[in-house]
Structure 1
Amino acid sequence: MVTKQFRFKVGFIGAGNMAQAICQSLINDAFYKPMQIAAFDLSEDRRTYFHNQFGIYISKNNVELADHAQTILLAVKPQVMPAVLEEIKPVIGPGQTIISIAAGISTGFIESTLNRSVPVIRVMPNTPMMVGAGTIALAAGQYAGRDHLNFAKTLFAPSGVVLCVEEHLIDAVTAISGSGPAYFFYLIEAMIQAGIDMGLSAENARTLACNTALGAAKMVTTLEDSPAELRRKVTSPAGTTEAAIKVLDQNKVQQHFIQAINAAAIRSKELGK
């Protein structure tokens, strides 16, 4: 069988913020030239932005894109995924790979909807990809081999840390790292507001909170101590940190955080039904 020659190396169906981060890294790291990339989005504003920002080809519709891209990156909302898959189904064929970043959508669902033995890689990225500091988890479908996984690793490596997991763990990944940046933003919001309430300027409160978060992240990722041990070292008996931790413990903040993360995992499962 003669393998089809594809006009584009990768095509983005959906041109939102995550697709933007991925496209930006591909071009910045010279992984692909702009002429090798295509995109389509229902939003005219997003199509215009991608064309002007990256100089890539903007397809006329999803079908044209899927027909001419060797790797199709599905970056649409989970709710519209079934319709998109039905739309592109007639043009999917040998030599193509599907990569999906849609939360809750399994590789099995994509494979069965397309009704093709097409390699599918499910990806859970997070928004720090936009600054090259993402955490990206990959899971292979039944037709995806080691070569497809290695390709996906290479594709996402410029955007952050990449790891492979079994697909049944993707919902946990979604809850921890996919939604995770929002948890830290939530905490930083609270720290900033506390600083303002105590008389600091908004600018100084933001600087203190953000740089403290950055420093703590560097410590926990570079030092051998566990997070619990690092916390213990800064929590002097009868000191200011201990006073704060006591309030957090009294209000069961750690337990509530675990409950919140579990809720995110449950919602991820629900999105796939």
Structure 2
Amino acid sequence: MSSLISSTDIQSSIRSLRLCFYGAGSMAEAIVRGLLARGLADSSLIGMFNRSNAQRLEELESRYNVSVSNVEEEQLDMLQDADVIFLVMKPKDAAEALRKLSAFIKPNQLVVSVIAGLSIRTIEQLLEQPQPIVRTMPNTSSTIGLGATGISFSQSVNDDQRQIALAMFEAIGMATIVEESLLDVVTGVSGSGPAYIYYMMEAMVEAGKQLGLTPEAAREMTIQTVLGAAHMVKATGETPADLRRKVTSPNGTTQAALEVMESYRFSEGVIQAIKRASERAAEMGEEIERSAMK
């Protein structure tokens, strides 16, 4: 990668890079789809592979015209030729994969980790050398360009590599630089966050159906309600709490509903859920670190 990349040339510079995705799950696909949709990557320069799911690789090759392989020698070639290596394997496979990678990784290759809980320190230990490492926590909304990603950098990452990483993740949503110690919190809030909203939407749709709406009407009303609420927060700049108060008339329907939610300790449940997700991310990192020491 070149050492000086101007802001006006950053996108074309990224487009010339070889990208290798070590793992081919939903998050890898989300990133690839987002980058390709915004013209920030060339499909002919993208390689993807996984441990054993050949059918999944065939689907990705057909869908995005990327290079795939389940042949180990070809996979090694993808990794060795890459300018940017994305670590998107399952956390339980990370230690073994990084040990293999340590045998041939080059000092100038940028490593981008999307593995929850896996610290920069552990990655460097497994690679057995300092390396430009970008630790990220995106979410699956990246697929449609509406992702939220927390990013931290190792000391070996230079300014150009920072620009490259930020531009890639900003192309699939928003990206925020945070202290690495807070990435587990990012995992709890936004990494796992879409699932919380989907869970809420499931309940809203089910309530509508139970109360007489058709499944289609319940679904569409729920989708539009959630979409509108998110846009209201973004467009007005007001806090969710202020907007909630504005639509909660004394003794009205909204107040009645919110009182039921609070009787079930709704807010406390959400807070504790996010805390638990953050704790689990840390636990997963510790599990990887323990396996790395074996």
TM-score (norm 2): 0.88
Aligned equivalent of 2:102: 89
Structure 2 counterpart SS, 1:225: coil
Within-5 A mapping of 1:81-230: 81-230=94-243
Runs of 5+ in structure 1 lacking a partner?
A: none
Matched, 1:41 2:50: yes
Moved more, 44-53 or 212-221: 44-53
Q: Report the alpha carbon displacement of residue 143 of structure 1 after superposing the two structures with TM.
A: 1.6
Runs of 5+ in structure 2 lacking a partner?
A: 4-15, 287-294
For 1:116, the aligned partner's letter is Q
For the aligned residue pairs, the C-alpha RMSD in angstroms reads 1.5
Percent identity between matched residues is 37
Moved more, 132-141 or 53-62: 53-62
Structure 1 counterpart SS, 2:260: helix
For 2:140, the aligned partner's letter is T
Count of equivalent residues: 268
Aligned equivalent of 1:20: 29
How far apart are the structure 2 equivalents of 1:84 and 1:194? 45
Structure 1 counterpart SS, 2:112: strand
Q: Report the alpha carbon displacement of residue 107 of structure 1 after superposing the two structures with TM.
A: 1.0
Q: Report the alpha carbon displacement of residue 147 of structure 1 after superposing the two structures with TM.
A: 2.4
Aligned equivalent of 1:52: 62
Give the conservation status (yes or no) of the 8 Å contact 2:34–2:144.
no
How far apart are the structure 2 equivalents of 1:204 and 1:174? 33
Aligned pair partner of 2:77 in 64, 69, 83: 64
Give the conservation status (yes or no) of the 8 Å contact 1:138–1:149.
no
Within-5 A mapping of 1:67-78: 67-78=80-91
For 1:230, the aligned partner's letter is L
For 2:236, the aligned partner's letter is L
Q: Report the alpha carbon displacement of residue 202 of structure 1 after superposing the two structures with TM.
A: 0.7
Q: Report the alpha carbon displacement of residue 134 of structure 1 after superposing the two structures with TM.
A: 0.6
Higher relative contact order, structure no. (Cα contacts within 8 Å, ≥ 6 residues apart) = 2
How far apart are the structure 2 equivalents of 1:132 and 1:213? 17
How far apart are the structure 2 equivalents of 1:73 and 1:210? 33
Distance of aligned partners of 1:248 and 1:261 in 2 relative to their CA distance in 1, 3 Å threshold? same
Q: Report the alpha carbon displacement of residue 8 of structure 1 after superposing the two structures with TM.
A: 6.0
For 2:58, the aligned partner's letter is T
